[in-house]
Amino acid sequence: MPKVNFLPDNVTVDVSKDENLLRAAMQGEVHISATCGGVGTCGKCRVVLEKGELETTDTELLTDEEKKKGYRLACLCKVKSDAELRIPVEARRGERAVLDRLREAAAFGVMLSTEDIHALVDFKVDPLIQKVYVEVEKPSLSNNTDDLSRLEQTLKKKGYEDLSIDYDILVDLAEKLREGDFKITVSIMTLDNNHTIVRIDSSDTTKSNLALAFDIGTTTLYAEVIDLISGDILGKASDYNPQISFGEDVITRIVFSVKENGLKKLQKAVIGDFNKLAKEALEKSGRKIEEVSIITAAGNTTMAHLFLGISPKNIRQEPYIPTVTHWPAIKTSKVGLKSPKSSRTFVLPGRASYVGGDVTAGVLASGMYKSDKLTLYLDVGTNGEIVLGNKEWLMACSCSAGPAFEGGTIQHGCRATLGAIEQVRLNWEDHEPMILTIGQAKPIGICGSGLITALAELFLAKVINPRGKINLNLETKRTRKGKSGAEYVLVNKEDAKIDRDIVITEVDIDNLIRAKAAVYAGITTLLDNAGITIDDVEQAYIAGGFGNYLELDKAMLIGLFPETDGSKVKFLGNGSLLGARLAAISAKAHKELNDIARRMTYIELSVDPTFMDRYMAALFLPHTDVKLFPTVKKLMEGGG
Ligand code: FES
């Protein structure tokens, strides 16, 4: 691992080979002005190479003379070996020692790779619908058994007994057999040891079997194309959930669903978008919709009901009873999804009205349900969903955080997509920002991870106070009064891809503080219900569609996550989508999801008398009781 040393602060950072130099500086909390997001157009991220080797993209923003003297633009450099860089004009970020201590206390949450996650749970590719190639004995006058019986006898030799067959398939059976000269591929769905023939192809199509895995988020929809032969992800697509125009949270959507045609409109919107996303993801993978056998879909209980056009109205009324939590296999064509009529949709099982298939999906992907270690699982989405437990017991709760961490209700919030600002640093003296975007493309907005770091950095640089109020008396042009009140200008219009400044407003900050307060209150209420503290937790997984980076130290600094030893915490990515993917590739995973859902004890936060008090107390950065965040307290006091 190359080491990069930044002077004059003498900060050394271990980075992987080819790491972007600006990202390395971010990692080491070394401030370099960077306002274009790492695109190479603002020309501000100047560094001087003193030792070592960098791969540099040429730029006209530096003169030949400067290049000879070793000047480089950090965002255009990849680290090739150990290197030493000097930041030309020193820009201190304040008390380094204290920042380092915070970093030590809460190291970056480790981002798990797809391989890590598959290793955690170790499911083999063994899907619920499998394809079998068979050569059926041709009929003759001496062998005049009917077509279906002869097919059943052939499949029996392959281990499939007591088969049933879909009526639709039976209608075409004789023709398909003869079309393929009795050499055919049979798709067989196996559920609870019952086998059903769901499709017949009149050729060998065993090499082509696909699944679509969907995450039905309240704010964001994700789709993946998965190869059911290798288990590989072939293509992805995502978009905001179009149901947002009918209401931002599940409650307003339930209210809308009971209006005339409300349910139909909500279902049509989400299914229409998934058809679009599936098309896009399939095009990216160069595959066809005809190859799809399985669709798995994970979402909270309300989203799952709306996805299938089932009324969620009782979820909202005491005693809060959904129509279904353990879903049967559903013929995809019935739902309106564009997919072969033989394909089946499997909605992941949930536990209760407010702990749905997205949570069981994350619990499955984390492997916590079969771990000896006491584990905390947190999914930060429009709802904060929290699970505590291990292989012996599981306890879950859900709190409404709102869509802020997914970019909703934030003026320049956006999904974690190309050009989204995902990391932010602020200079403590001149309050100038250092930003990095996904794909180092021109900034379009701020995604969840960017919002968390931006909030933390604004607080650290004292641009905002613990109540989230912006100080308009600072000597900087970055803070100003905008149309909707005080705001901080993160990106000037000329550096942005959109035709206006990218700002964070006081209203945005207020929404973020409410969201983090709800999540923190949910975590601490659940811990209290279990009679333990965060220190008793042996490992923690954080899930959410943040993007590639979740800086745990910044999440603790704003009081989203309790202060704890960061080495216990791992970042799982989108837990709901991961679970949907595992259920697509593995019948065993599908079965275990049902077991997880049955095992979870559900804690209803709305009837817990302490939840609201905890929420109110957390409406501060990091918290009204700063003693709960000792490292942040020291940082705020400016001491070590
Ligand atoms: Fe490097 Fe703008 S030129 S961040």
Ligand 1 atom with the shortest distance to the CA of 436: 4
Across the chain, what does the average pLDDT equal? 90
For residue 292, what are its two tokens? 């799809």
How many other CB atoms sit within 10 Å of the CB of residue 489?
A: 18
Is 44's C-beta closer than 6 angstroms to any atom of ligand 1? yes
Q: How far apart are CA 475 and CA 464, in angstroms?
A: 14
- Residue 90: its pLDDT value, please? 41
Average pLDDT of the residues in 23-48: 87
Question: Hey, whose CA ends up nearest to atom 3 of ligand 1?
Answer: 40
Query: What separation in angstroms does the CA of 220 have from each of 103, 223, 243, 249, 490?
Result: 31, 10, 10, 12, 24
Closest CA to 582 of 364, 331, 389: 364
Four-residue CA torsion sign, 581, 320, 244, 402: negative
Q: CA 348 from chain center: how many Å?
A: 17
- Which tens digits make up the pLDDT trace of 70-85? 999 999 999 999 999 9
Q: Which of 36, 54, 442 to probe ligand 1 with, by most ligand atoms within 8 A of CB?
A: 36
- Residue 327: its pLDDT value, please? 95
Ligand 1 atom with the shortest distance to the CA of 36: 2
- Which tens digits make up the pLDDT trace of 384-396? 899 999 999 999 9
DSSP 484-522: TEEEEEEE-GGGSSSSS-EEEEHHHHHHHHHHHHHHHHH
- Residue 106: its pLDDT value, please? 40
pLDDT band at residue 439 under the 50/70/90 scheme? confident
pLDDT band at residue 484 under the 50/70/90 scheme? confident
Ligand 1 atom with the shortest distance to the CA of 34: 4
- Which tens digits make up the pLDDT trace of 136-170? 999 999 988 999 999 999 999 999 988 999 898 99
Give 47 Cα–ligand 1 centroid separation in angstroms.
11
How many other CB atoms sit within 10 Å of the CB of residue 113?
A: 10
Q: Which of 41, 60, 436, 497 to probe ligand 1 with, by most ligand atoms within 8 A of CB?
A: 41
Q: CB under 8 Å to 474, separation ≥6 — which residues?
A: 431, 463
Q: Taking every pair of C-alpha atoms in the chain, what is the biggest distance, in angstroms?
A: 98
- Residue 636: its pLDDT value, please? 74
pLDDT band at residue 219 under the 50/70/90 scheme? confident
- Which tens digits make up the pLDDT trace of 350-384? 998 888 999 999 999 999 999 999 999 999 888 88
Average pLDDT of the residues in 572-581: 91
For residue 21, what are its two tokens? 């130099």
Q: Do the Cβ atoms of 280 and 568 come closer than 8 Å?
A: no
Average pLDDT of the residues in 213-222: 93
Query: What separation in angstroms does the CA of 74 have from each of 20, 111, 375, 431, 566?
Result: 8, 24, 39, 20, 28
pLDDT band at residue 598 under the 50/70/90 scheme? very high
Give 588 Cα–ligand 1 centroid separation in angstroms.
48
Q: CB under 8 Å to 405, separation ≥6 — which residues?
A: 380, 381, 448, 451, 452, 512, 515, 544, 546
SS3 helix, strand, coil % of the chain, rounded to 5?
A: 35, 25, 40
How many other CB atoms sit within 10 Å of the CB of residue 488?
A: 28
Give 601 Cα–ligand 1 centroid separation in angstroms.
50
Give 37 Cα–ligand 1 centroid separation in angstroms.
6
DSSP 426: E
What percentage of the chain exceeds 90 in pLDDT?
Answer: 70
pTM of the model: 0.84
Can you list the domains of the chain with their CATH numbers? 3-92 (3.10.20.30), 129-201 (3.10.20.880), 210-347 (3.30.420.480), 357-403+513-633 (3.30.420.40), 406-506 (no CATH)
- Residue 640: its pLDDT value, please? 43
Paired sense of beta strands 485-491 and 479-482, if any: antiparallel
**Residue 104 pLDDT more than 60?**
no
- Residue 118: its pLDDT value, please? 64
- CA torsion angle for 91, 94, 98, 104 (degrees, to 10)? -30
Q: Which of 44, 87, 421 to probe ligand 1 with, by most ligand atoms within 8 A of CB?
A: 44
**Residue 110 pLDDT more than 80?**
no
Q: Output 248 or 290, whichever has higher pLDDT.
A: 290
Ligand 1 atom with the shortest distance to the CA of 32: 4
Is 43's C-beta closer than 6 angstroms to any atom of ligand 1? yes
Give 109 Cα–ligand 1 centroid separation in angstroms.
26
- Which tens digits make up the pLDDT trace of 499-509? 899 999 999 99
Is 496's C-beta closer than 6 angstroms to any atom of ligand 1? no
Ligand 1 atom with the shortest distance to the CA of 40: 3
Is 75's C-beta closer than 6 angstroms to any atom of ligand 1? yes
Paired sense of beta strands 569-573 and 539-543, if any: parallel
